[in-house]
Amino acid sequence: MFGPLVRNITPCAFWPTRPREQPTTIGNSAPALIVGATGDTATPYPGQRAMHRALTGSRMITLNGAYRHGVYAAEGNTCVDTKVTRYLLDGVLPGQNLTRNRPPA
């Protein structure tokens, strides 16, 4: 698990100063497609779900049991690949959020 060792929170996050500006507020209805994996170490699943809630016009496709960052065209899941390709080509979001299971290795 090399990724978590080099992509971790840095000491600057705990520096005892106030931020120079207010945090960015996210909240819109843009039609965004969020694709994630439950085992993603770069973007943990709770953070993916929080982004989905903040982007009110989004849909989310989750690949349950995948341990990588970026599952589209990498995991070989036909459902995920088809839905993402359709969104990229036509801008059509799935009608609802989807969760698919990664087949056992």
CA–CA dist 95, 97 (Å, integer): 7
CA–CA dist 95, 89 (Å, integer): 16
Structure confidence at residue 7 as a pLDDT band (50, 70, 90): low
pLDDT digits (tens, 9 = 90+) for 42-72: 899 999 999 999 899 999 999 999 999 999 9
Domains in the chain: boundaries? 29-101
Which of 17-21, 77-81, 83-87 shows the lowest per-residue confidence on average (mean pLDDT)?
17-21
**For the chain, percent helix, then strand, then coil, each to nearest 5?**
30, 15, 55
Q: Do 48 and 55 touch, CB atoms closer than 8 A?
A: no
Q: Do 42 and 66 touch, CB atoms closer than 8 A?
A: no
Residue recorded with tokens 């993916």:
48
